Amino acid sequence: MAVELISDNEFRDKITGAEKVVVKYYADWCGSCRLFAPKFRRLSNDERFGGISFLDINAEHNPAARQEAGVTNLPFFAIFKNGKFVEGISSNKEEMVVALIEKLN
- The single residue of 33, 59, 97, 101 carrying the catalytic annotation is 33
Task: Write down the mean pLDDT value for the chain.
Answer: 96
Let me know if 96 is a catalytic residue: no
Is pLDDT above 90 for 105?
no
pLDDT of res. 14 = 95
Q: Which domains does the chain have, with CATH numbers?
A: 3-102 (3.40.30.10)
CB 55 within 8 A of CB 13: no
Rounded to an integer, the average pLDDT of 15-34 is 96
Let me know if 33 is a catalytic residue: yes
Taking the CA atoms of residue 83, residue 12, residue 68 and residue 89 in that order, the dihedral angle to the nearest 10 degrees is 60
pLDDT in tens, 63-83: 999 999 999 999 999 999 999
What does the angle CA 4 – CA 6 – CA 8 come to, to the nearest 5 degrees?
Answer: 160
- The single residue of 15, 18, 23, 30 carrying the catalytic annotation is 30
Question: What's the pTM?
Answer: 0.96
